[in-house]
Chain A
Amino acid sequence: MNENSMDYSVREYIKEVEKRLPEWLKNKKEHKEILADLEEHLWSKAAELSENGQPNEKSVKLAIEHMGTPQNIAKEYKRRGEPKYYITKELWPYYTKALGGVFAVIVALVVIGLVVSFFTGNDSFGSLIGGLITGIQSGLLISFAIVTIIFVALSHEGYFPEDFKSEKDKELMKELREKKIEEGDPTQPLTKPLKPFIKQGGTIVGGGIGLIFGIVLLSQPFPTYMFLPDFLMILRIFGLLTMLESSLDISRGIIGNRRPSTHQALHAILIPLKLSVIPLLGILMNRPEIFPWFSEPWIHVGIPVEAYVFYRGIFALIIAITCLTTIENFYNIIKIQKYK
Protein backbone atom coordinates (compact mmCIF):
# COMPACT_ATOMS: atom_id res chain seq x y z
CA MET A 1 0.00 0.00 0.00
CA ASN A 2 1.60 3.26 -1.07
CA GLU A 3 0.76 6.79 0.10
CA ASN A 4 -2.11 7.10 -2.38
CA SER A 5 -3.74 3.87 -1.32
CA MET A 6 -3.38 4.82 2.38
CA ASP A 7 -5.13 8.11 1.57
CA TYR A 8 -7.77 6.15 -0.31
CA SER A 9 -8.44 3.84 2.68
CA VAL A 10 -8.77 6.79 5.05
CA ARG A 11 -10.99 8.70 2.60
CA GLU A 12 -13.23 5.67 2.09
CA TYR A 13 -13.57 5.19 5.84
CA ILE A 14 -14.46 8.85 6.39
CA LYS A 15 -16.91 8.70 3.49
CA GLU A 16 -18.62 5.69 5.11
CA VAL A 17 -18.91 7.57 8.42
CA GLU A 18 -20.32 10.61 6.61
CA LYS A 19 -22.91 8.48 4.85
CA ARG A 20 -24.16 7.10 8.15
CA LEU A 21 -24.22 10.30 10.19
CA PRO A 22 -27.73 11.31 11.25
CA GLU A 23 -29.55 13.75 8.96
CA TRP A 24 -29.88 16.44 11.63
CA LEU A 25 -26.09 16.58 11.88
CA LYS A 26 -25.54 16.72 8.13
CA ASN A 27 -27.22 20.11 7.92
CA LYS A 28 -24.85 21.62 10.43
CA LYS A 29 -21.56 23.43 9.95
CA GLU A 30 -19.89 21.17 12.49
CA HIS A 31 -20.49 18.13 10.26
CA LYS A 32 -17.29 18.87 8.29
CA GLU A 33 -15.38 19.53 11.52
CA ILE A 34 -16.44 16.14 12.90
CA LEU A 35 -15.08 14.37 9.85
CA ALA A 36 -11.89 16.45 9.93
CA ASP A 37 -11.36 15.57 13.62
CA LEU A 38 -11.84 11.88 12.87
CA GLU A 39 -9.34 12.04 10.03
CA GLU A 40 -6.81 13.90 12.18
CA HIS A 41 -7.26 11.29 14.92
CA LEU A 42 -6.84 8.45 12.43
CA TRP A 43 -3.56 9.74 11.04
CA SER A 44 -2.19 10.44 14.55
CA LYS A 45 -3.08 6.90 15.60
CA ALA A 46 -1.52 5.44 12.44
CA ALA A 47 1.66 7.34 13.15
CA GLU A 48 1.72 6.13 16.77
CA LEU A 49 1.19 2.52 15.75
CA SER A 50 4.00 2.51 13.21
CA GLU A 51 7.55 1.74 14.25
CA ASN A 52 9.15 4.85 12.79
CA GLY A 53 6.41 7.36 13.58
CA GLN A 54 5.33 7.52 9.92
CA PRO A 55 1.98 5.97 8.95
CA ASN A 56 2.29 2.83 6.85
CA GLU A 57 -0.02 0.28 5.29
CA LYS A 58 -0.31 -1.84 8.44
CA SER A 59 -0.64 1.03 10.90
CA VAL A 60 -3.38 2.75 8.85
CA LYS A 61 -5.34 -0.50 8.74
CA LEU A 62 -4.92 -0.95 12.49
CA ALA A 63 -5.85 2.68 13.19
CA ILE A 64 -9.09 2.24 11.20
CA GLU A 65 -9.85 -0.85 13.30
CA HIS A 66 -9.26 1.12 16.51
CA MET A 67 -11.66 3.83 15.36
CA GLY A 68 -14.58 1.38 15.31
CA THR A 69 -17.13 0.80 12.58
CA PRO A 70 -18.84 3.78 10.89
CA GLN A 71 -22.15 2.25 12.06
CA ASN A 72 -21.07 2.41 15.71
CA ILE A 73 -19.87 6.00 15.39
CA ALA A 74 -23.14 7.06 13.78
CA LYS A 75 -25.10 5.10 16.41
CA GLU A 76 -23.33 7.02 19.16
CA TYR A 77 -24.29 10.36 17.56
CA LYS A 78 -27.89 9.19 17.33
CA ARG A 79 -27.93 8.27 21.02
CA ARG A 80 -29.46 11.55 22.08
CA GLY A 81 -32.21 12.34 24.54
CA GLU A 82 -33.84 10.54 27.41
CA PRO A 83 -35.98 7.58 26.31
CA LYS A 84 -39.67 7.69 27.19
CA TYR A 85 -41.89 5.00 25.66
CA TYR A 86 -39.76 4.82 22.44
CA ILE A 87 -40.09 8.60 22.01
CA THR A 88 -37.50 10.77 23.74
CA LYS A 89 -38.49 13.03 26.60
CA GLU A 90 -37.25 15.97 24.54
CA LEU A 91 -39.65 15.26 21.66
CA TRP A 92 -42.53 14.13 23.88
CA PRO A 93 -44.21 17.58 24.32
CA TYR A 94 -44.08 18.11 20.55
CA TYR A 95 -45.52 14.65 20.01
CA THR A 96 -48.51 15.35 22.26
CA LYS A 97 -49.01 18.76 20.65
CA ALA A 98 -48.83 17.25 17.16
CA LEU A 99 -51.40 14.64 18.18
CA GLY A 100 -53.63 17.39 19.62
CA GLY A 101 -53.29 19.48 16.46
CA VAL A 102 -54.00 16.60 14.09
CA PHE A 103 -56.93 15.44 16.25
CA ALA A 104 -58.41 18.97 16.24
CA VAL A 105 -58.14 19.18 12.44
CA ILE A 106 -59.78 15.75 12.03
CA VAL A 107 -62.62 16.62 14.43
CA ALA A 108 -63.12 19.96 12.64
CA LEU A 109 -63.20 18.26 9.21
CA VAL A 110 -65.66 15.61 10.36
CA VAL A 111 -67.88 18.26 11.99
CA ILE A 112 -67.82 20.40 8.82
CA GLY A 113 -68.76 17.27 6.85
CA LEU A 114 -71.63 16.70 9.28
CA VAL A 115 -72.86 20.29 8.89
CA VAL A 116 -72.79 20.01 5.09
CA SER A 117 -74.71 16.69 5.24
CA PHE A 118 -77.16 18.24 7.66
CA PHE A 119 -78.05 21.04 5.27
CA THR A 120 -77.84 19.13 1.98
CA GLY A 121 -78.68 15.50 2.73
CA ASN A 122 -81.76 13.66 3.87
CA ASP A 123 -80.11 11.71 6.66
CA SER A 124 -81.71 11.70 10.07
CA PHE A 125 -80.00 13.48 12.97
CA GLY A 126 -79.29 10.11 14.59
CA SER A 127 -77.50 8.67 11.55
CA LEU A 128 -75.48 11.87 11.21
CA ILE A 129 -74.30 11.59 14.83
CA GLY A 130 -73.44 7.92 14.19
CA GLY A 131 -71.39 8.94 11.17
CA LEU A 132 -69.70 11.66 13.22
CA ILE A 133 -68.60 9.18 15.90
CA THR A 134 -67.36 6.59 13.36
CA GLY A 135 -65.53 9.25 11.35
CA ILE A 136 -63.82 10.69 14.42
CA GLN A 137 -62.89 7.22 15.73
CA SER A 138 -61.22 5.99 12.54
CA GLY A 139 -59.62 9.38 11.83
CA LEU A 140 -58.10 9.54 15.30
CA LEU A 141 -56.83 5.98 15.13
CA ILE A 142 -55.10 6.39 11.76
CA SER A 143 -53.60 9.79 12.65
CA PHE A 144 -52.41 8.45 16.03
CA ALA A 145 -50.56 5.61 14.28
CA ILE A 146 -48.97 7.89 11.65
CA VAL A 147 -47.87 10.61 14.11
CA THR A 148 -46.49 7.99 16.53
CA ILE A 149 -44.46 6.24 13.82
CA ILE A 150 -42.98 9.58 12.71
CA PHE A 151 -41.96 10.55 16.25
CA VAL A 152 -40.50 7.10 17.07
CA ALA A 153 -38.39 7.36 13.90
CA LEU A 154 -37.25 10.90 14.79
CA SER A 155 -36.31 9.76 18.32
CA HIS A 156 -34.42 6.79 16.93
CA GLU A 157 -32.41 9.11 14.69
CA GLY A 158 -31.61 11.34 17.69
CA TYR A 159 -33.52 14.43 16.60
CA PHE A 160 -34.01 17.24 19.12
CA PRO A 161 -36.58 20.05 18.83
CA GLU A 162 -33.73 22.52 18.24
CA ASP A 163 -32.79 20.66 15.03
CA PHE A 164 -35.93 22.09 13.45
CA LYS A 165 -35.03 25.67 14.34
CA SER A 166 -33.53 28.09 11.85
CA GLU A 167 -29.74 28.48 11.67
CA LYS A 168 -30.13 32.06 12.95
CA ASP A 169 -31.96 30.95 16.10
CA LYS A 170 -29.43 28.17 16.70
CA GLU A 171 -26.52 30.62 16.45
CA LEU A 172 -28.25 32.96 18.88
CA MET A 173 -28.83 30.16 21.38
CA LYS A 174 -25.21 29.06 21.04
CA GLU A 175 -23.93 32.57 21.72
CA LEU A 176 -26.13 32.89 24.81
CA ARG A 177 -25.01 29.47 26.03
CA GLU A 178 -21.35 30.30 25.58
CA LYS A 179 -21.85 33.54 27.49
CA LYS A 180 -23.45 31.63 30.35
CA ILE A 181 -20.63 29.06 30.37
CA GLU A 182 -18.12 31.89 30.71
CA GLU A 183 -20.12 33.20 33.64
CA GLY A 184 -20.08 29.68 35.10
CA ASP A 185 -23.81 29.61 35.61
CA PRO A 186 -25.28 27.49 32.85
CA THR A 187 -28.12 26.14 34.96
CA GLN A 188 -29.95 29.46 34.83
CA PRO A 189 -32.26 30.21 31.90
CA LEU A 190 -30.37 31.61 28.92
CA THR A 191 -32.52 34.72 28.71
CA LYS A 192 -35.01 36.38 30.94
CA PRO A 193 -38.09 34.69 29.50
CA LEU A 194 -41.06 36.75 28.40
CA LYS A 195 -44.31 35.92 30.12
CA PRO A 196 -46.32 33.45 28.04
CA PHE A 197 -48.81 35.33 25.87
CA ILE A 198 -51.39 32.56 25.94
CA LYS A 199 -52.74 30.25 28.63
CA GLN A 200 -52.91 27.05 26.63
CA GLY A 201 -55.17 24.99 28.91
CA GLY A 202 -57.72 27.73 29.42
CA THR A 203 -57.86 28.62 25.73
CA ILE A 204 -58.36 25.01 24.65
CA VAL A 205 -61.03 24.33 27.30
CA GLY A 206 -62.81 27.62 26.48
CA GLY A 207 -62.66 26.80 22.76
CA GLY A 208 -63.97 23.29 23.43
CA ILE A 209 -66.95 24.59 25.40
CA GLY A 210 -67.63 27.14 22.64
CA LEU A 211 -67.45 24.39 20.01
CA ILE A 212 -69.99 22.25 21.87
CA PHE A 213 -72.26 25.29 22.31
CA GLY A 214 -71.96 26.05 18.59
CA ILE A 215 -72.79 22.44 17.66
CA VAL A 216 -75.89 22.54 19.90
CA LEU A 217 -77.09 25.79 18.28
CA LEU A 218 -76.45 24.42 14.81
CA SER A 219 -77.97 20.98 15.27
CA GLN A 220 -80.75 22.20 17.60
CA PRO A 221 -81.37 18.94 19.46
CA PHE A 222 -84.40 20.37 21.27
CA PRO A 223 -88.12 20.73 20.45
CA THR A 224 -88.09 23.35 17.68
CA TYR A 225 -91.88 23.67 17.29
CA MET A 226 -91.89 26.25 20.09
CA PHE A 227 -89.76 28.70 18.05
CA LEU A 228 -90.35 30.64 14.88
CA PRO A 229 -88.36 29.47 11.80
CA ASP A 230 -86.62 32.88 11.44
CA PHE A 231 -85.35 32.69 15.02
CA LEU A 232 -84.12 29.13 14.49
CA MET A 233 -82.24 30.16 11.34
CA ILE A 234 -80.52 32.99 13.24
CA LEU A 235 -79.54 30.49 15.94
CA ARG A 236 -78.01 28.19 13.30
CA ILE A 237 -75.93 30.97 11.77
CA PHE A 238 -74.90 32.08 15.26
CA GLY A 239 -73.90 28.47 16.06
CA LEU A 240 -71.80 28.23 12.90
CA LEU A 241 -69.97 31.47 13.73
CA THR A 242 -69.39 30.31 17.32
CA MET A 243 -67.96 27.02 16.03
CA LEU A 244 -65.54 28.82 13.72
CA GLU A 245 -64.46 31.20 16.47
CA SER A 246 -64.00 28.34 18.95
CA SER A 247 -61.99 26.29 16.43
CA LEU A 248 -59.61 29.23 16.04
CA ASP A 249 -59.30 29.46 19.84
CA ILE A 250 -58.50 25.74 20.06
CA SER A 251 -55.90 26.15 17.31
CA ARG A 252 -54.29 29.02 19.25
CA GLY A 253 -54.26 26.87 22.37
CA ILE A 254 -52.61 23.98 20.55
CA ILE A 255 -49.97 26.18 18.94
CA GLY A 256 -49.19 27.51 22.42
CA ASN A 257 -46.51 30.10 23.00
CA ARG A 258 -44.87 29.56 19.62
CA ARG A 259 -45.35 30.95 16.13
CA PRO A 260 -46.31 34.50 17.08
CA SER A 261 -47.07 35.39 13.43
CA THR A 262 -49.70 32.61 13.26
CA HIS A 263 -51.26 33.91 16.48
CA GLN A 264 -51.41 37.41 14.99
CA ALA A 265 -53.05 36.07 11.82
CA LEU A 266 -55.62 34.14 13.88
CA HIS A 267 -56.44 37.26 15.90
CA ALA A 268 -56.85 39.19 12.65
CA ILE A 269 -59.32 36.55 11.38
CA LEU A 270 -61.19 36.61 14.69
CA ILE A 271 -61.96 40.35 14.42
CA PRO A 272 -64.31 40.19 11.35
CA LEU A 273 -65.68 36.88 12.66
CA LYS A 274 -66.72 38.52 15.92
CA LEU A 275 -68.10 41.56 14.12
CA SER A 276 -70.17 39.34 11.80
CA VAL A 277 -72.40 38.51 14.77
CA ILE A 278 -73.54 42.15 14.93
CA PRO A 279 -75.98 41.98 11.96
CA LEU A 280 -77.62 38.94 13.62
CA LEU A 281 -77.95 40.81 16.87
CA GLY A 282 -79.34 43.78 14.91
CA ILE A 283 -82.05 41.59 13.32
CA LEU A 284 -83.04 40.21 16.72
CA MET A 285 -83.01 43.72 18.18
CA ASN A 286 -85.44 44.97 15.53
CA ARG A 287 -87.69 41.94 15.55
CA PRO A 288 -88.69 41.36 19.19
CA GLU A 289 -91.80 39.53 17.98
CA ILE A 290 -89.70 36.48 16.95
CA PHE A 291 -87.74 36.24 20.20
CA PRO A 292 -89.06 33.46 22.45
CA TRP A 293 -90.64 34.43 25.67
CA PHE A 294 -91.53 31.64 27.99
CA SER A 295 -94.42 31.75 30.36
CA GLU A 296 -96.77 29.17 31.80
CA PRO A 297 -97.50 26.66 30.33
CA TRP A 298 -94.26 26.96 28.21
CA ILE A 299 -95.93 28.38 25.17
CA HIS A 300 -93.96 30.66 22.87
CA VAL A 301 -95.01 34.29 22.59
CA GLY A 302 -93.05 37.29 21.31
CA ILE A 303 -91.59 39.85 23.69
CA PRO A 304 -94.41 41.86 25.34
CA VAL A 305 -94.70 45.32 23.77
CA GLU A 306 -94.15 47.07 27.11
CA ALA A 307 -90.71 45.34 27.40
CA TYR A 308 -89.48 46.45 23.94
CA VAL A 309 -87.33 49.32 25.23
CA PHE A 310 -85.65 47.13 27.84
CA TYR A 311 -85.20 44.32 25.29
CA ARG A 312 -83.59 46.63 22.73
CA GLY A 313 -81.41 48.16 25.43
CA ILE A 314 -80.04 44.71 26.31
CA PHE A 315 -79.20 44.01 22.64
CA ALA A 316 -77.56 47.40 22.22
CA LEU A 317 -75.38 46.52 25.23
CA ILE A 318 -74.48 43.10 23.77
CA ILE A 319 -73.53 44.76 20.43
CA ALA A 320 -71.35 47.28 22.29
CA ILE A 321 -69.63 44.50 24.29
CA THR A 322 -69.03 42.50 21.07
CA CYS A 323 -67.32 45.54 19.52
CA LEU A 324 -65.24 46.03 22.66
CA THR A 325 -64.04 42.41 22.67
CA THR A 326 -62.38 43.02 19.28
CA ILE A 327 -60.13 45.56 21.03
CA GLU A 328 -58.59 42.59 22.86
CA ASN A 329 -57.67 41.04 19.51
CA PHE A 330 -56.10 44.29 18.25
CA TYR A 331 -54.18 44.57 21.55
CA ASN A 332 -52.95 40.96 21.24
CA ILE A 333 -51.75 41.54 17.66
CA ILE A 334 -49.60 44.44 18.91
CA LYS A 335 -48.48 42.64 22.10
CA ILE A 336 -47.38 39.46 20.30
CA GLN A 337 -45.15 41.51 17.99
CA LYS A 338 -42.41 41.62 20.65
CA TYR A 339 -42.30 37.81 20.88
CA LYS A 340 -41.11 37.56 17.27
Chain B
Amino acid sequence: MLQKLIKKVKGMDTEFQEYASKFESEINRGTSTLSILSIISQYGKTGVHGYQISKDLLEQTHNMLIIEEGTLYPILRKLEGDRIIKSEREEEGRKRKFYYITVYGEKIYNYLSGFYSKLTEAIAPLFDVSVHLKQNKYFYCPACSNKIDLKNLEAKYCDVCGHYIEKELDERGLIK
Protein backbone atom coordinates (compact mmCIF):
# COMPACT_ATOMS: atom_id res chain seq x y z
CA MET B 1 0.00 0.00 0.00
CA LEU B 2 1.58 3.27 1.11
CA GLN B 3 4.79 1.61 2.25
CA LYS B 4 6.54 2.84 -0.85
CA LEU B 5 5.86 6.46 -0.02
CA ILE B 6 7.17 6.24 3.48
CA LYS B 7 10.27 4.28 2.43
CA LYS B 8 11.22 7.17 0.22
CA VAL B 9 11.63 9.48 3.19
CA LYS B 10 15.27 9.50 4.17
CA GLY B 11 16.44 9.52 7.74
CA MET B 12 13.62 7.43 9.18
CA ASP B 13 14.75 4.82 11.66
CA THR B 14 13.69 1.22 10.99
CA GLU B 15 11.46 0.88 14.03
CA PHE B 16 9.54 4.04 13.16
CA GLN B 17 9.31 2.99 9.54
CA GLU B 18 7.95 -0.46 10.40
CA TYR B 19 5.41 0.88 12.85
CA ALA B 20 4.22 3.61 10.50
CA SER B 21 4.06 1.20 7.59
CA LYS B 22 1.96 -1.31 9.56
CA PHE B 23 -0.42 1.42 10.72
CA GLU B 24 -0.79 2.77 7.21
CA SER B 25 -1.60 -0.68 5.89
CA GLU B 26 -4.37 -0.98 8.45
CA ILE B 27 -5.80 2.43 7.51
CA ASN B 28 -5.56 1.70 3.81
CA ARG B 29 -7.03 -1.80 3.72
CA GLY B 30 -10.68 -0.82 3.69
CA THR B 31 -10.05 2.50 1.98
CA SER B 32 -8.41 0.95 -1.07
CA THR B 33 -11.16 -1.65 -1.49
CA LEU B 34 -13.80 1.10 -1.33
CA SER B 35 -11.79 3.23 -3.78
CA ILE B 36 -11.48 0.30 -6.21
CA LEU B 37 -15.23 -0.19 -5.95
CA SER B 38 -15.75 3.51 -6.61
CA ILE B 39 -13.74 3.31 -9.85
CA ILE B 40 -15.59 0.19 -11.05
CA SER B 41 -18.86 1.96 -10.22
CA GLN B 42 -17.83 5.00 -12.28
CA TYR B 43 -17.48 2.82 -15.38
CA GLY B 44 -21.00 1.38 -14.94
CA LYS B 45 -22.10 -0.92 -17.75
CA THR B 46 -18.96 -0.25 -19.81
CA GLY B 47 -16.85 -2.16 -17.32
CA VAL B 48 -13.16 -1.66 -16.61
CA HIS B 49 -10.10 -3.92 -16.69
CA GLY B 50 -7.60 -4.35 -13.86
CA TYR B 51 -4.83 -2.27 -15.35
CA GLN B 52 -7.16 0.70 -15.92
CA ILE B 53 -8.38 0.45 -12.31
CA SER B 54 -4.83 0.74 -10.96
CA LYS B 55 -4.13 3.64 -13.32
CA ASP B 56 -7.30 5.50 -12.31
CA LEU B 57 -6.62 4.85 -8.67
CA LEU B 58 -3.30 6.65 -8.95
CA GLU B 59 -4.65 9.51 -11.04
CA GLN B 60 -7.80 10.14 -9.02
CA THR B 61 -5.99 10.06 -5.68
CA HIS B 62 -3.14 12.22 -7.01
CA ASN B 63 -0.62 9.39 -6.53
CA MET B 64 -1.51 9.20 -2.84
CA LEU B 65 -3.28 5.84 -2.61
CA ILE B 66 -0.65 3.51 -4.00
CA ILE B 67 -1.40 -0.17 -3.96
CA GLU B 68 0.99 -2.87 -5.06
CA GLU B 69 -0.62 -3.55 -8.40
CA GLY B 70 -0.36 -7.32 -8.13
CA THR B 71 -2.47 -7.24 -4.98
CA LEU B 72 -5.32 -5.60 -6.90
CA TYR B 73 -6.33 -8.94 -8.43
CA PRO B 74 -6.87 -10.84 -5.16
CA ILE B 75 -9.03 -7.90 -4.00
CA LEU B 76 -11.05 -8.03 -7.23
CA ARG B 77 -11.40 -11.79 -6.88
CA LYS B 78 -12.71 -11.38 -3.34
CA LEU B 79 -15.20 -8.72 -4.40
CA GLU B 80 -16.37 -11.02 -7.17
CA GLY B 81 -16.70 -13.92 -4.73
CA ASP B 82 -18.79 -11.68 -2.48
CA ARG B 83 -21.03 -10.90 -5.50
CA ILE B 84 -20.24 -7.17 -5.26
CA ILE B 85 -18.79 -7.15 -8.77
CA LYS B 86 -18.92 -9.50 -11.74
CA SER B 87 -16.50 -10.01 -14.59
CA GLU B 88 -16.45 -10.89 -18.26
CA ARG B 89 -13.46 -11.70 -20.41
CA GLU B 90 -13.00 -10.01 -23.79
CA GLU B 91 -13.79 -12.52 -26.51
CA GLU B 92 -11.26 -11.09 -28.93
CA GLY B 93 -7.98 -9.17 -28.83
CA ARG B 94 -6.10 -9.13 -25.55
CA LYS B 95 -8.86 -11.09 -23.80
CA ARG B 96 -8.66 -8.88 -20.74
CA LYS B 97 -11.08 -9.33 -17.88
CA PHE B 98 -13.61 -6.49 -17.50
CA TYR B 99 -15.21 -5.81 -14.14
CA TYR B 100 -18.74 -4.47 -13.55
CA ILE B 101 -20.54 -3.56 -10.34
CA THR B 102 -23.64 -5.70 -9.62
CA VAL B 103 -27.03 -4.38 -8.47
CA TYR B 104 -26.24 -5.73 -5.03
CA GLY B 105 -22.74 -4.20 -5.20
CA GLU B 106 -24.23 -0.81 -6.07
CA LYS B 107 -26.37 -0.95 -2.94
CA ILE B 108 -23.42 -1.96 -0.77
CA TYR B 109 -21.23 0.70 -2.37
CA ASN B 110 -23.78 3.51 -1.79
CA TYR B 111 -24.12 2.53 1.81
CA LEU B 112 -20.37 2.19 2.50
CA SER B 113 -19.51 5.32 0.58
CA GLY B 114 -22.13 7.26 2.59
CA PHE B 115 -20.81 5.83 5.83
CA TYR B 116 -17.21 6.63 4.89
CA SER B 117 -18.11 10.19 3.81
CA LYS B 118 -19.97 10.92 7.04
CA LEU B 119 -17.15 9.38 9.07
CA THR B 120 -14.52 11.48 7.28
CA GLU B 121 -16.60 14.61 7.87
CA ALA B 122 -16.98 13.73 11.55
CA ILE B 123 -13.32 13.00 12.27
CA ALA B 124 -11.94 15.87 10.15
CA PRO B 125 -11.82 18.38 13.07
CA LEU B 126 -9.60 15.96 15.00
CA PHE B 127 -6.88 16.58 12.41
CA ASP B 128 -7.67 20.24 11.92
CA VAL B 129 -8.97 19.82 8.39
CA SER B 130 -12.40 20.46 6.95
CA VAL B 131 -14.47 18.12 4.82
CA HIS B 132 -17.57 19.33 3.06
CA LEU B 133 -20.06 16.79 1.81
CA LYS B 134 -21.74 17.57 -1.48
CA GLN B 135 -25.18 18.08 0.06
CA ASN B 136 -26.54 19.52 -3.17
CA LYS B 137 -25.66 16.32 -5.01
CA TYR B 138 -26.33 13.60 -2.45
CA PHE B 139 -28.66 12.99 0.43
CA TYR B 140 -27.25 11.01 3.37
CA CYS B 141 -29.85 8.96 5.22
CA PRO B 142 -29.99 10.32 8.82
CA ALA B 143 -30.52 6.81 10.20
CA CYS B 144 -27.86 4.77 8.41
CA SER B 145 -25.74 7.24 6.33
CA ASN B 146 -26.68 5.53 3.06
CA LYS B 147 -25.70 7.83 0.17
CA ILE B 148 -28.64 8.62 -2.09
CA ASP B 149 -27.98 10.31 -5.41
CA LEU B 150 -30.47 13.18 -5.74
CA LYS B 151 -30.56 12.66 -9.49
CA ASN B 152 -32.10 9.23 -9.04
CA LEU B 153 -34.38 10.17 -6.16
CA GLU B 154 -37.57 8.19 -6.48
CA ALA B 155 -38.40 6.40 -3.23
CA LYS B 156 -39.59 8.04 -0.04
CA TYR B 157 -37.74 5.49 2.04
CA CYS B 158 -34.05 4.68 2.38
CA ASP B 159 -33.46 1.48 0.41
CA VAL B 160 -31.01 0.21 3.05
CA CYS B 161 -32.70 0.83 6.42
CA GLY B 162 -36.23 1.78 5.31
CA HIS B 163 -36.08 5.15 7.10
CA TYR B 164 -38.79 7.59 5.98
CA ILE B 165 -36.78 10.35 4.29
CA GLU B 166 -39.49 12.44 2.67
CA LYS B 167 -39.76 14.88 5.60
CA GLU B 168 -36.01 15.62 5.60
CA LEU B 169 -36.03 16.01 1.84
CA ASP B 170 -38.99 18.38 2.07
CA GLU B 171 -37.23 20.48 4.74
CA ARG B 172 -34.22 20.83 2.48
CA GLY B 173 -36.50 21.79 -0.40
CA LEU B 174 -35.45 18.79 -2.44
CA ILE B 175 -38.96 17.57 -3.29
CA LYS B 176 -40.41 19.16 -6.34
Q: Which residues of A contact B (CB under 8 A)?
A: 17, 33-34, 37-38, 40-41, 44-45, 48, 66-70, 72-73, 76-77, 79-80, 177-178, 180-181, 184-187
Contact = CB atoms under 8 A, between A and B. Distances in A.
Contact of A67 (B68, B74, B77): B68
B74 A76 contact: yes
B83 A186 contact: yes
Interface stretch (B40-48, B95-103, B113-121, B137-145): B95-103
Centre residue among A68, A77, A80 by max chain B CB count within 10 A: A68
Nearest to A48: B55
Contacts of A69: 68
Given A33-B97, A66-B68, A77 B102 contact: no
Interface string B70-86: 11011101100001001
B51 A44 contact: yes
Nearest to A187: B104
Given A180-B83, A184-B103, 12 more contacts: A33-B97, A34-B73, A40-B94, A41-B73, A68-B68, A72-B68, A73-B68, A76-B75, A80-B78, A181-B104, A185-B103, A185-B104
B110 to A, nearest CB: 14
A77 B69 contact: no
A186 B102 contact: yes
A40 B70 contact: no
B35 to A, nearest CB: 16
Contacts of A185: 103-104
B167 to A, nearest CB: 29
B126 to A, nearest CB: 28
B70 A68 contact: yes
A17 B68 CA distance: 14
10 contacts: A37-B50, A38-B70, A41-B73, A66-B68, A70-B70, A73-B70, A73-B73, A79-B74, A181-B86, A184-B104
B21 interface: no
Per DSSP, are chain A's interface residues mostly helix, strand or loop, or mixed?
A: helix
Interface residues of B, number: 22
A40 B51 contact: yes
Contact of B71 (A73, A80, A178): A73
Contacts of A33: 89, 97
Contact of A68 (B55, B69, B89, B96): B69
Nearest to B58: A66
Contact of B73 (A38, A80, A181, A184): A38
Report the 10 A-B pairs with minimum CB-CB distance, sorted nearest first: A68-B68, A184-B103, A76-B74, A67-B70, A73-B70, A186-B83, A76-B71, A77-B74, A68-B70, A44-B51
B74 A66 contact: no
A45 B69 contact: yes
Contacts of A40: 51, 94, 96
A90 to B, nearest CB: 11
A160 to B, nearest CB: 9
Nearest to B66: A66
Contacts of B97: 33, 37
B74 A181 contact: no
Contacts of B54: 41
Contact of B70 (A17, A48, A79, A186): A17
Contacts of A186: 83, 102, 104
Interface in B46-63: 50-51, 54-55
Nearest to A74: B74
A164 to B, nearest CB: 16
Contacts of A77: 74, 77
A38 B96 CA distance: 10
Nearest to A77: B74
Interface in B8-23: none
A184 B106 CA distance: 10
A72 B71 contact: yes
A254 B97 CA distance: 43
A17 B74 CA distance: 12
A41 B68 contact: no
B86 A41 contact: no
